[in-house]
Structure 1
């Protein structure tokens, strides 16, 4: 646990993870502090980078992005330059919702939302295979999302 955070800060974080739209007045009431104090504390959590954003979670199927694909990527070289070049290139593809550098069989895992398999096939052929330094791509179509965007526990 972060020593600069107290039990009130942790309670604020838990409540905000449950409902990012909660009003400051309701949040303050649930934590048993004044609204002004609550606002200052939440503002401090933002300024320290402990909370970095608040956003809506959009239902993917409602915007025709109901298929989730996980892509394992192996690069042809394991150098800082090849990693940097690959990472720069994936940041330019808005279809990639997550990219993690990992240890093990793959160098990176990408999470991608697409309409369907045909949509992914077009993306694979036109953009993924063209990413710099890619030696191998392995694709995993997600059949069911069991846990998604779960709040952090602390």
Structure 2
């Protein structure tokens, strides 16, 4: 059964996406299995990488990071080495929440949260344009977050 998901596994995943704080006993009750069976299944989902981790979803406004900014990045060269250098630095940059290699007019899209436009402007001038190989950036300030990090459908 390794690597396969049945109905109960899918329900466990769905429920944990909705509320990662469910106790094993609560989760077992919701999926109609014993706590021991639920624990074994959940542990397998972790062990096989279906669940990569559990963490708190922080309200950005409560921690003074209400400005969401998407930055399109174009590198000066499209080589495996330039991509690898850029990605290595981005992985270590604590101000970048997400980084995605994309097809189209940009090489990458970055997701960044800042206090406000002035805070982003400072970050842009000091850190973004210093990323290796960056030829051009285009900034998109998010006006309204319709959905963010929605659960995967099961």
Structure 1-normalised TM-score? 0.97
Match of 2:106 in 1: 106
Q: How far apart in 2 are the matches of 1:121 and 1:78? A: 27
Contact 2:3 2:48 in 1 (8 A): no
SS in 1 for 2:11: helix
What residue in structure 2 maps to residue 77 of structure 1? 77
- Name segments (4+ residues, structure 1) moved above 3 Å: none
Q: Which residue of 1 aligns with 2:145?
A: 145
How many residues end up aligned between the 2 structures? 153
Aligned to 1:28: 28
State the Cα RMSD in Å.
1.1
Unpaired stretches in structure 2, ≥5 consecutive residues: none
The 3 A distance-change label for structure 1 pair 90 and 3 is closer
TM-score, length-scaled by structure 2: 0.97
What's the offset of the Cα at 1:91?
Answer: 1.3
SS of 1:136 mapped into structure 2: strand
1:3 CA drift (Å) = 6.5
1:3-152 pair list within 5 angstroms: 4-152=4-152
Alpha-carbon distance in 1 for matches of 2:21, 2:121 = 37
Unaligned runs of 5+ in 1: none
Preserved contact between residue 67 and residue 114 of structure 2 (Cα < 8 Å): yes
SS in 2 for 1:104: coil
Shift of 1:121: 0.5
1:93 deviates by: 1.2
